[in-house]
Structure 1
Amino acid sequence: MGAIVRYVVTLAVMLPLDATWLLLTSGTYRRVMGSLLKPQFDIAAAVAFYLVYVFGVTVLVTSPASKVLPATLRGAVFGLTAYATYDLTALAVIRDWPLSLSLIDMAWGTVLTGVASGITVFLTARFTPKAA
């Protein structure tokens, strides 16, 4: 039961943070990625990403964690690793992919996942009943 709660809390924390980031930076991504972007946003792919990504965060970061700081640090490492997988691969195989975009995106993945992980552990420790 605890892992399900942490999954839901992580999703509830991560989605508004990432949505805010994407709204604030969409112009930069559009300008840099230009013709690579689809004309229509693929909601199914986005939903699939969040479901899988939050599953990874839950299993590897928040469920084993009992303290906020270690969860935050492990979340940051998980975020850096996951976002670097995408960004460095793009840098390696997509013509004219800007290093600056990869660095910004990897930094965001690090911050987003670290913060979401720390908040999740804090909230679930504070507001969920302890097993007897």
Structure 2
Amino acid sequence: MSIPVKRWLLSYAVAAVIFAAIDVVWIGTVANNQYKSQIGDLLAPSANLAGAVAFYLVYVVGILHYGVRPNDPNATLRQRVAGAAIFGFFTYATWALTGLAVLKDFPPVVALTDIAWGVAVCSAVTWLTAALLRRTIARTGTPE
């Protein structure tokens, strides 16, 4: 396996754990309450586990590509976090603004909160991943 692939896989694993941990806290402390109070009638009785897992698996690829950039040793932390923030903005805005456009009585506060969350979580995951792996990402040799 090549060094860039190893670096990418290590970054993926770290980012996935960080993203899942942060998102579980967010969902448990803010999102669930807000969704139940604001769009409770639109919610399924329980989450679709396969859909949730698929989201996390795919979404972390985007965070790596636009934010962490594990095989770009020249990207600054500021560039990485800015890329992640933009990625989070556009992806969460896609969901939130589509909901606002097509779902009956979809509250603007939910859309705005979700968009802000997308920016925040992608930025935080990128910052933490890049900080934890800074020596590995900056290397041209074997990952730690």
In 2, the alpha carbon distance for the partners of 1:7 and 1:96 equals 37
In 2, the alpha carbon distance for the partners of 1:60 and 1:112 equals 13
Identify the match of residue 47 of structure 2 among 41, 44, 50. 41
With structure 1 as the length reference, what TM-score do the two structures score? Answer: 0.92
Cα distance change of structure 1 residues 31 and 125 upon mapping to structure 2, 3 Å threshold: same
In 2, the alpha carbon distance for the partners of 1:67 and 1:50 equals 25
Residue number in structure 1 paired with 2:25 = 20
- Is the 8 Å Cα contact of residues 68 and 121 (structure 1) preserved in structure 2? yes
Alignment of 1:1-132 (within 5 A): 1-25=6-30, 26-63=32-69, 64=72, 66-126=75-135, 130-132=139-141
In 2, the alpha carbon distance for the partners of 1:99 and 1:45 equals 24
Structure 1 counterpart SS, 2:133? helix
> Which segments of structure 1 move beyond 3 Å, counting only runs of 4 or more?
126-129
Shift of 1:72: 1.1
In 1, the alpha carbon distance for the partners of 2:126 and 2:111 equals 22
- Is the 8 Å Cα contact of residues 3 and 59 (structure 1) preserved in structure 2? no
- Is the 8 Å Cα contact of residues 67 and 121 (structure 1) preserved in structure 2? no
Structure 1 counterpart SS, 2:123? helix
In 1, the alpha carbon distance for the partners of 2:80 and 2:19 equals 14
With structure 2 as the length reference, what TM-score do the two structures score? Answer: 0.85
Structure 2 residues not aligned, in runs of 5+: 1-5
Cα distance change of structure 1 residues 124 and 106 upon mapping to structure 2, 3 Å threshold: same
Structure 1 residues not aligned, in runs of 5+: none
- Is the 8 Å Cα contact of residues 92 and 115 (structure 2) preserved in structure 1? yes
Percent identical residues: 31
- Is the 8 Å Cα contact of residues 7 and 136 (structure 2) preserved in structure 1? no
Shift of 1:80: 0.6
Query: Alpha carbon RMSD of aligned pairs, Å?
Result: 1.6
